[in-house]
Amino acid sequence: MILLSADTAGQGSVVDEDPDIIYMQIICFKINEENWKKQKEIIEIFRELNRLPEKIPKLIHTKIYRSLRHDTDFIIWMSSKDPVFIRDGMETIYSIVGHLGHTSFNLLSIYVKSPYLKNASHIEEDLKKRGLKYFVCYPMSKTPEWYLIDYNDRKKIHGRTYQNSNVTPNE
């Protein structure tokens, strides 16, 4: 359980922090067609986006990916233990790139340590590592029936899913 209150001092929220929760934000951004002519400005913007962790040190990580989707040119993925720093990151991102285009998709996710993964306790350290070549993001929710399946069976299903996701090497 996490409790939030107003940001009165400008230093973040008053959070009763759950050590097993990490907030993750995905921002998909589309550059307007006429702005693609501004190549030098776009390159400088990406350099500035790469410095986002220096500007907001409470972010656990920030990664930038080119998108394969037709409605998105790049994706920014960031995480923090406190949602206020996610908000600060978003404000900074929009101040840097907002004049060039628009957000095509936004997703805030709350990561809770999975009981199905042995190494789930290392998620924060894993996020700080050098990013992989590909990033796949999709919303996921479970139906109530999922939780009626025996725990060990659910664990096997999750294990196969994670095993399949690691079959293709990161080239």
Residue 10 covered by a domain: no
Do the domain assignments include residue 60?
yes
- Domain limits for position 45: 18-141
pLDDT 10s digit of each residue in the chain, 171 long?
343 444 444 555 545 566 678 899 999 999 988 888 888 888 888 888 888 888 888 998 888 888 888 888 989 989 999 999 999 999 999 998 888 889 998 988 888 776 656 655 667 776 777 766 666 665 566 778 887 888 888 888 877 776 776 665 554
Asked if residue 86 belongs to a domain, the reply is yes
Asked if the structure places residue 2 within a domain, the reply is no
The number of distinct structural domains making up the chain is: 1
Domain membership flag for residue 168: no
pTM of the predicted model, to two decimals? 0.67
Give the separation between CA 79 and CA 129, rounded to whole angstroms.
13
Q: What's the CATH number where 64 sits?
A: 3.30.70.1030
Are the CB atoms for 128 and 60 separated by under 8 Å? Answer: yes
- Assigned domain for 52 exists: yes
